Amino acid sequence: MDNLTHSLVGLAAAKAGLERLTPRTTVLCVVAANAADLDVVTLVFGDRWTTLKYHRGITHSIIGTVCLAFIIPIVFYLAELAVARLRARPVQVNLTGLIVASIIVSATHPIMDWTNNYGVRLLLPWSSKWFYGDLVFIVDPFLWALFGGASFLLTSKTRLQVIAWCALGLAVTLIVFLGRSAVSNALPVPVFWIIFLISLVVLFVKRAGNRWGQKIAIASFVILLAYWGGLAWAHSLAIREGTLEASVIAHSGETISRLAAMPTLANPVTWECVFETERATYRFDLSLLTRKPEDVVRYEKPSQEMSSLVQKASEGRRAQILLGFARFPVVQLPDIDCTTQTLVQFADLRYTEPGKSRGTFSLEVPVDCPVQRPNERK
């Protein structure tokens, strides 16, 4: 998930009762909720391909999460100890309370990230296997509203806090409205957001935060579980319907080896299905309302004629990283009639197609054509 969602989850967890364990817990919860994304420091020491290789790696694994869950509270405690000595006052935090809060909140990060189709590698360093929940899109306005609303009601105690929340709310609202073109059901999202903002203002005016307190934060996590349950049900329908449609779409004689149904942005009734056969990889959009596939694309797997070129192209560092990450890797040669040099195009069909620019999810590799013997030339 995005870091705004992780931050709001950490803040809501603190307000749900963890902040009672010891002072400084609220800040610790926000830090712990985001700590796994420390792997982005690879951008400083490498390039975007380095980040693709290490992101959602060891810091998102079970062992990495446990280590961070203990390191963060120890750092907080040592900082508090240093400040207390400098100011000649008693230590105001409890290390045990910090550790308990950190363990709980640190676990939310890999769990939240598992729910989308990017995946996490939970078993590193022993296994590099990716795990995918395929339930929630990597950015979800509903989660912003759910945890942002709860956190706003419980933390808007001063004028400065209200101003800060209003600034954040304005920024997110601009994102929701400016980004509606990327959503297939563009109208419901802005309408939902306006209704949410009006309801939030009414609850704030009626001092719902003071009246209900931590029950609001607890309720946000209960609603999250119900939301995940609903999406799991929709996902099971998408898998079932997608498998039926895939059997019709696949060319004659092809057998489906695996299929995934993945969420789309702010649209729980539309799923992106990708499936693989022994000869090709397909992708199509499936609406649970119409139950008809749309925008079907098909990419054949490399033929024997192409295999040597693909093999040469896949030996490079960038190709190795992309192919190690890709869940549904596809390859294409724009110029099969190779004479001197050609391009081999790789892509992860979850996110883009060969030849289309999509950051680190596609790659073009120039390769030299095999030298032909005189008697092999036409």
The per-type count for the chain, helices as H runs and strands as E runs, is 13, 7
Q: Calculate the CA dihedral of residues 310, 312, 314, 317 and round it to 10 degrees.
A: -160
| Domain ranges within the chain, ordered by starting residue | 3-227, 302-376
Neighbours of 234 (CB within 10 A): 18
Q: Evaluate if residue 346 carries a pLDDT over 80.
A: yes
pLDDT tens digits for 299-320? 999 887 788 888 889 999 999 9
Alpha-carbon separation of residue 35 from 4, 20, 67, 307 (angstroms): 13, 22, 11, 42
Query: Comparing 245 with 367, which gets the higher pLDDT?
Result: 245
* pLDDT of 139 strictly over 70: yes
CB within 8 A of 160, min separation 6: which ones? Answer: none
| pLDDT > 90 in the chain, percent | 75
Contacting residues for 277 by C-beta, under 8 A, at least 6 apart = 250, 251, 254, 255, 256, 257
Q: Is the pLDDT of residue 144 over 80?
A: yes
Q: What is the pLDDT of residues 155-183, one digit of tens each?
A: 999 999 999 999 999 999 998 888 766 55
pLDDT in tens, 44-57: 888 889 999 999 99
What are the C-alpha distances in Å from 374 to residues 304, 370, 371, 378? Answer: 21, 13, 9, 9
The closest alpha carbon to 212, from 204, 223, 221, belongs to 204
**Mind listing the pLDDT tens digit for each residue in 51-88?**
999 999 999 999 999 999 999 999 999 999 999 999 88
Q: What is the pLDDT of residue 188?
A: 79
Count of C-beta atoms within a 10 Å radius of residue 112: 22
Q: What is the DSSP letter of 2?
A: -
Backbone angles phi, psi at 69, to 5 degrees: -65, -25
Alpha helices in 179-288 (DSSP H): 188-205, 208-212, 214-249
Torsion of CA 48, 54, 59, 64, to 10 degrees: -170
**pLDDT at residue 336, as a whole number:** 63
CA distance 281 to 23: 54
Which has more confidence, 290 or 218? 218
State how far the Cα of 352 lies from the Cα of 362, in Å rounded to an integer: 7
Mean pLDDT of 352-371: 84
**pLDDT score at 378:** 46
